[in-house]
Structure 1
Amino acid sequence: MDDHRTSTSHETSPLLSSPSTATLGDQILIDDETNVSRAVLIKQELAWLVSSSIPLALSYFCQSSFAFVSMLNVGRLGVNELAAASLSVMIINFVVMMPCVGLACALETFCSTAFTASRDKTRVGFHMQRGLVAVTLQLVPTVLLFVYMDSILQSIGQTEEVATLCGEFLRVWLLGSWPLVAFECLKRFVQAQGIMQAGTWVMAAVAPIHFLMSHMLVWSDSIGIGFAGAPLATAITNWLLFLGLTAYIACSKAKEAWGGFTLDCLDGIWEFYRLAIPSAAMMSCSWSAFEMVTFGSSMFGPVSLAAQACIFSAMSLTYQTPAAIGSAAATRVGNSLGCGKQRRARFSAYISMCMGYAVGMTCSLMLFLNRYRWGYMYSDVEEVVTLCSELMPYFAAVQTYDGMNGLVAGILRALGKQSLGAILAFPSFWVLAVPIAFYLGMGPPHLEVIGLWLGLAVGVILYSLAQQCYILFYIDWRHEVKVCLDRLARSTKSLDPAQFTIAVCGDSDGGLYSTPVTRTNSNSNSSVDDYGALA
């Protein structure tokens, strides 16, 4: 028992067990943990998911609060400023965050599996380098687009004042664009190792600085620059986040999974893009539908756009906890599959979904009860506040399913099923939701912003239920263990069984695994602790 503990003392993930000592030809790898009862397994996974989701949720809330604070400061400048800031955030999300975060999310597939399935932990850093390359290349065309964005907006009918302010916002924001997307890659690098608190510590340190800068750069008589102060504060904050997380990695055990820069990450990078592109497409299809609602709202005037900004800020805040649960579930499911624990992976997925519904319904109720107060947080204009209160019930009704989409997407990423998410998202949002939304908002019903939200609700609910049904009824979890290790081997250009903590066997189909497969722990006296780690 003591020897076993010594051999695993360097691991940081609470899931990891020691590698099996089996050799090629042994039939190992799926460990159903039959000695662990269902009740104990549920208790362990619930405890792990809750304890991991809390720091992630706090870091997500801090990150979303940056835009929230910026909107509060800008909103007091006037309706046009609030409308321009809202439109700018929509463009940033559409052009930068959707594709780049989508690309970075593919790391949740590769890094979490590599950390438990590979003997060489630096494979986690190897995959992270691929993510950095991908997001950096994605940013290149953004620069030219943002430089001429004010002219583009005027050409499609936006008012000159809002377009000019929007162009100014975007050009200043570009100064902090790369560190933001690099930060997204670094977050997934540490989370794959089970280090969930890293982002929280960095966010907690940076948040007060951002709040102070946002106010001073907009309103201070000595250093304030007005509207442009909001994106400048955000750019500085993005650099602080990147540098802070980099420093955390350099001073923690997370650096053991780094391995240094190498051009070898470019060799076989298509295997990364094979999942990263569907991951970006999955996120873009759903996220862009929400941004189209913002764009449609701008067609009804500054008041509608300002009210939409208030609702989207609420959406950003309430989305964070389900997204955090999804991110924790992605790590847990990926780690579990990587070390052959298909039963634990399945329970983690199901329990996280139950948690998502509990959180979502609570948030929806709170938003509905406070619908008449929410608008006053952003604007003193009575028209904006009134329209915000009218929109809030529709958003509250759809908010639970929106949060579940973010949560379930994490599970699909752990399984490498990004292409399925993209396939389901496109018809849900762009065949049904967007056309229905614009018909109800701008067509004969003339429901304006309310019509846009009704149409959007169709896509959100349909997409959410379709993904959940697939996970609940169609996933073969035993088979997913084989699939994830096969994917890891292809991505590293190696089929050498020595690369894995769990032995692999050739089969008649040319794959890596023989069937039936089982896993046994080399230490017959091992037990399971409260968080599912083999002790």
Structure 2
Amino acid sequence: MYTAIGGDDAPGGPGEAGPLLSRPSETTLTDQVAVDDESHLGRAALVRQEAWWLLGSSVPLILAFLCQNSFNFVSMLSVGRLGVNELAAASLGVMIVNFVVLMPSIGLANALETFCCAAYTASEDKTRVGLHTQRGLAAVTLQLAPGILLFALIDPLLVLLGQTDEVSALCGQFLRIWLLGSWPMLAFECLKRFTQAQGIMQAGTWVMAVVMPIHVANSYLLVWSPALGLGFIGAPIATAISSWLLLLGMVLYIALGRARACWGGWTWACLDNMWEFYRMAIPSAAMLACSWAAFEMSTFGSSAFGPVAMAAQACIFSAMSITFQAPAAVGSAAATRIGNSLGVGKHRRARFAAYTAIGAGYIIGIASSLLLFWYRRSWGYIFTGDERVIALCTHLMPFFAAVQTYDGMNGVTGGVLRALGKQSLGAMLAFPSFWILGVPLGFYLALGPLHLEVVGLWLGLAAAVIAFSLPQQWYILFRVDWRHEVKVCLSRLDRASRPKGLAAPDMLCVPADSYGAIA
């Protein structure tokens, strides 16, 4: 029988004042927790270990995130020189894709970080990681249905919403072609989290390293090449091709590597207890959607001020997407580390992993803000030669640079909350921050008596981002009972991993060699 967490531990954190659990009288999963045998390690030693682990794990994730995000960056770059209407249509298309497909679907996929990371160390049967991944694949597949219907009818809807006929037609073409690569992109997201849960952080990086040059070449050949160039529609075709290549590359990586041991083969059992998955996935999607949709709403709002304002907003959002990837990767790595640690009962290590990630997030965020401000006059030239767009981009960049640190911190804290299964808290904070404070304030400043236009939209976003970021950090630093979260984690895995007809899962926390997964 396993011993409950208790005994000597380093003081100074929530939930570590004394024993929380006692030795159970009956052997049940949720009452059994592994001994946290790291009480001999001081805080400084844990911070050093977690900092080195985070550095080694985040770098490949940052490279993978940047490469994946650069798909849209390259697409915007390839169509930006075609004209203002093409750039505006591509920007609007990316916004609609984000709003309708990627926001809810990636939010659903993010729930895999709650289940897969803990299941990898908490379960004797490692194929439980594959079982949870299959649930994620099923969820994102179902989520595509509304997008398919909407994109088929999008052209007249955009005209009704005030877009010009040319921008609406171009945007409709972009969206319908993009759909061809939508499912493989979402499946790649799920499989990427499947490998990350096993500590294989470099999987996405290697796949991206192969696909990225192909995407750059296709973006030129299909848009600009005299022989093969198709103009505007070449950009979404290149993206669709790259999405299928990403999925193929990840499947081959898993099939040929050690990650395949956790797959276990397709099984209808993945549809059992789907509600337990959705209990985490729906708040995860809501948390992401509330914040992401607010940014996309400001893009749509900028369209009211003409193609120049919308094109400049697209340039700024490209900067935001690029600089967000590093802290988002840190948050994803932290989610893996914290989930693995909770699954094996290492609550102190989980706590210091979270603290280290927050510190790293501030370092990255401040550095990004300074770089954006320094190069504010040069950024617009990357996308367009239109001086009106460049001037507006230069004017907007300081407002974005000022809030970038806190926007990045939301990527870090989001990863920590996902590891803890606290997505509902993030969703509850995100809605009032963005939709009661940020969006109304931004539109008031943009369209109200001050008539600040796009600047007003960004001021509203800045207020929302800060209001969302600070309470999350406070909760993680001062309110989380890390010892108790071990029991909560095991209870969640117990409910989610028990197929129909099985009296109890085969997970016992924790096999003797599981600590190697997080050492």
Please report the TM-score for the alignment, with normalisation by the length of structure 1.
0.89
Task: Give me the whole-angstrom Cα distance separating, in 1, the residues matched to 2:32 and 2:393.
Answer: 61
Q: Which residue of 2 aligns with 1:215?
A: 220
Which residue in 1 is equivalent to 2:493?
Answer: 488
Counterpart secondary structure, 1:261? coil
1:271 is matched with which residue: 270, 276, 287? 276
Distance 1:495 1:420, change over 3 A: farther
**Structure-2 residue corresponding to 1:297:** 302
The 2-side partners of 1:480 and 1:361 are apart by 31
Q: Deviations over 1:333-356 (max 9, x none)?
A: 000000000000000000000000
Please give the alpha-carbon distance, in whole angstroms, between the structure 2 residues aligned to 1:451 and 1:165. 28
Letter of the aligned partner of 1:24 in structure 2?
T
- Aligned residues of 1:32 and 1:342 also touching (Cα < 8 A): no
Question: What CA distance in whole angstroms lies between the structure 2 residues aligned with 1:487 and 1:263?
Answer: 20
Runs of 4+ in structure 1 over 4 Å off: 25-28
1:500 is aligned to 2:508: yes
State how far apart, in whole Å, the 2-side matches of 1:431 and 1:72 are: 34
Secondary structure in structure 2 of the residue aligned to 1:299: helix
- Measured after TM superposition, the shift of residue 499 of structure 1 is 1.8
- The 8 Å contact of residues 33 and 487 in structure 2, kept in 1 or not, is answered as no
**Cα distance in structure 1, aligned partners of 2:299 and 2:290:** 15
TM-score scaled by length of structure 2: 0.92
Q: Which of 154, 163, 167 is the aligned partner of 2:168?
A: 163
State the Cα distance separating 1:141 from its structure 2 match.
Answer: 1.7
**Correspondence list, 1:208-357, <5 A:** 208-357=213-362
1:423 corresponds to which of 425, 428, 449: 428
TM-superposed CA distance for 1:32, in Å, is 5.2
Structure with greater contact order relative to length (CA < 8 Å, sep ≥ 6): 1
User: Could you say what secondary structure the match of 2:212 adopts?
Assistant: helix
Deviations 1:418-442 (A, max 9, x none): 0110000000000000000000001
Show CA shifts across 1:89-108 (max 9, x none).
00000000000000000000
| Rounded Cα–Cα distance in structure 2 between residues aligned with 1:248 and 1:345 | 29
Question: Judging changes above 3 Å, is the alpha-carbon distance between structure 1 residues 415 and 28 closer, same or farther for their aligned structure 2 residues?
Answer: closer
For structure 1, the residue ranges without an aligned partner over 5 or more in a row are 1-22, 504-521
Of residues 77, 94, 104, the one that matches 2:99 is 94
- 2:140 maps to amino acid: V
**Kindly tell me: are residues 498 and 165 of structure 1, through their superposed partners in 2, closer, same or farther at Cα, counting changes over 3 Å?**
closer
The separation in 2 between residues aligned to 1:209 and 1:30, in whole angstroms, is 49
**Equivalent residue for 2:6?**
none
Count of residues in correspondence between the two structures: 490
AA partner of residue 499 (structure 1): M
**Given the alignment, which residue of 386, 391, 411 partners 2:391?**
386
Quick one: structure 1 residues 340 and 223, their matched pair in 2 at CA, closer, same or farther if it must change by over 3 Å?
same
Choose the corresponding residue for 1:130, options 125, 128, 135: 135
Partner of 1:176: 181
State the partner residue of 2:8.
none
Of all paired residues, the percent bearing the same amino acid is 65
Does the 8 A contact of 1:326 with 1:411 survive in 2? Answer: yes
**Residue 178 (structure 1) shift:** 0.3
Q: Is the 8 A contact 1:183 1:242 kept in 2?
A: yes
Shift of residue 270, structure 1, vs aligned partner = 0.5
**Superposition deviation, residue 394 in structure 1:** 0.2
Q: CA deviation at 1:40?
A: 1.5
Identify the residue that residue 402 of structure 2 maps to in structure 1: 397
Matched-pair contact (CA < 8 Å) for 2:362–2:405: yes
Distance 2:292 2:360 in 1: 23
Instruction: Calculate the aligned-residue CA RMSD, in Å.
Output: 1.8
Q: Distance in 2 between matches of 1:172 and 1:498?
A: 45
> By how many angstroms is 1:31 displaced?
0.4
Report the Cα offset of residue 156 of structure 1.
1.2
Structure 2, unmatched stretches of 5+, are 1-25
> Contact between 2:215 and 2:242, CA under 8 Å: does it hold in 1?
yes
Q: Is the 8 A contact 2:336 2:419 kept in 1?
A: yes
Alignment partners' CA distance in 2, 1:47 and 1:315: 27
